[in-house]
Amino acid sequence: MSRADLIACHECDLLQREVAVPPGGVLRCRRCHAELYRNRPAGLERSLALSLAAVVLFVVSNLYPIVGLSVSGTVVETTLLGAVAVLYRDGMWPIAGLVFATTFLMPVVQTLSMLWMLLPLRFDRVPWSPAFVFRLSHVAAPWGMTEVLILGLLVALVKLAHIASVVVGTALWSFGALMLILAAACAAFDARQVWSRIAAVQARGGGASGVSAPLPRGAVTAAQCGLVLCHDCGLLARASAHAHALSCPRCGAAMHMRKPASFSRTWALLIAAMVLYIPANVLPVMYTSSLFGAQNDTILSGVVYLWTSGSWPLAVVVFIASIAVPMLKIFAIAYLTISTQLGSRWLPEQRTRIYRVVEFVGRWSMLDIYVITMLVALVQFQALATIQAGGAAIAFGAVVVLTMFAAMTFDPRLIWDAVEQDHARTRAKA
């Protein structure tokens, strides 16, 4: 087989040739159909412009109130950070920290990291410490949940409208615009282009986007060829004799043939999520006290309230995001882990798709946490009515985080290892 520029699939480890992709086109793995890369014309320039706009919108979104309530001449307004502060004062610091991290800290880190990389490149300069900043952006990406926050705010507005007059703040509109701008900036940000531009500025030619090497006869995966893929920047590097301690020569991220202790770590996180899923749905998620008495609400009772009040579309959304999705994630990850541990060769492509869906939907379970945050921050009318978060909110937030970590620690390449063993036996017999 002739020498070729190689690229490895991050989900099935299949080695493939790099080919030219038309503008806007996508190259997918020929075995599991995962996206290998996308040709984004002028992607870095668009990402830079959108990131600058996101900074402006983020400042506006956090300086002005999101929403307010008016009752008998008393108006209560809150900003995002103000809502986090209310949760912290009520002793719900785990939820306050989770909301702060996913709606403020991580979006800020992600946006500033992109600007840190793109601004110097715009003027043909190499950014300072690009490897560290790039890894920081990669870590922050899955935890920024602005789009989930917007949906949570809409659900909270429906509930608040039955309590008092709702005053929509400036920040609600800017958060909506920020959601679109930030999503577009992240979609336009192309790691391959970033490292190619850095390599060009450093006069190193076209960069280290792949490995040029002859493929051993019959070998089809990176591992079989002694190559390791960096899951942060996508570089394909040669594995040393101590591959478990290999670092990416381009971005410095840890590289492994397979994620270490993938099964045991996935099971540990998944079992913890299963245990916490019960109190998350049984215990009260909110305590409401008013002139008419006290009321405890669970996640399911909140869905029932939305349904009976006529907001059945939102009731369906909350039910799917807060009840169905966490449960299905647990079942899906358990199924993938068990079938892979048993060496199942049954429908590997479909199981890889299940993994892809689990990774995508994990963040949307945070919806109910954001709804609770807004209700607790705004319904503070002392003797008239107050809302406090319950212990189920902490358990539910933990379930969301644990299932996201479980999906991250599971290595989908292990699904295909059993298939490769079959191929190896077939080649040996031939």
On the question of pLDDT at 395 being above 90, the answer is yes
Between CA 354 and CA 328 the distance in angstroms is 11
Instruction: Summarize the confidence of residues 215-225 as an average pLDDT.
Output: 69
- pLDDT band of residue 98 (cuts 50, 70, 90) is very high
How confident is the model at residue 394, as a pLDDT?
A: 93
How confident is the model at residue 426, as a pLDDT?
A: 59
Among 333, 328, 311, residue whose Cα is nearest residue 263: 333
Domain boundaries, given as residue ranges, for the chain: 4-39+209-249, 44-187+251-255, 261-430
Instruction: Summarize the confidence of residues 408-422 as an average pLDDT.
Output: 85
- How far apart, in Å, are the Cα atoms of 421 and each of 1, 410, 428? 22, 20, 10
- State pLDDT tens for residues 318-371: 888 888 889 999 999 999 999 999 888 888 899 999 999 998 888 888 988 998
Assess if CATH 1.10.150 describes domain 261-430: no
How confident is the model at residue 420, as a pLDDT?
A: 77
How confident is the model at residue 4, as a pLDDT?
A: 46
How confident is the model at residue 206, as a pLDDT?
A: 44
- Using a pLDDT cut of 90, give the percent of the chain over it: 35
On the question of pLDDT at 2 being above 70, the answer is no
- State pLDDT tens for residues 186-205: 989 988 888 888 888 876 54
How confident is the model at residue 430, as a pLDDT?
A: 54
More confident residue, 210 or 178: 178
Looking at residue 283, its amino acid is L
How confident is the model at residue 184, as a pLDDT?
A: 92
How confident is the model at residue 294, as a pLDDT?
A: 64
Between CA 43 and CA 193 the distance in angstroms is 8
Q: DSSP states of 136-177 as a string? A: HHHHHGGG--HHHHHHHHHHHHHHHHTTSEEEE-HHHHHHHH
How confident is the model at residue 7, as a pLDDT?
A: 86
Between CA 230 and CA 227 the distance in angstroms is 10
Between CA 12 and CA 412 the distance in angstroms is 7
More confident residue, 97 or 164: 97
How confident is the model at residue 1, as a pLDDT?
A: 36
Between CA 195 and CA 232 the distance in angstroms is 12
Query: What mean pLDDT value characterizes the chain?
Result: 84
- pLDDT band of residue 3 (cuts 50, 70, 90) is very low
Q: DSSP states of 176-199 as a string? A: HHHHHHHHHHHHH--HHHHHHHHH
Partners of 78 in the β-ladder: 67
How confident is the model at residue 409, as a pLDDT?
A: 93
More confident residue, 132 or 239: 132
181 close to 53: Cβ distance less than 8 angstroms: yes
- The b/e string for 354-392 (b: 16+ C-beta within 10 A; e otherwise) is bbbebbebbbbbbbbbbbbbbbbbbbbbeeebbbbbbeb
Looking at residue 426, its amino acid is T
How confident is the model at residue 205, as a pLDDT?
A: 45
- State pLDDT tens for residues 27-75: 898 888 888 888 888 888 999 999 999 999 999 999 999 988 877 667 7
Rg (CA), the chain: 24
Residue at token pair 């019960």? 278
Instruction: Summarize the confidence of residues 143-168 as an average pLDDT.
Output: 85
On the question of pLDDT at 384 being above 70, the answer is no
pTM: 0.86
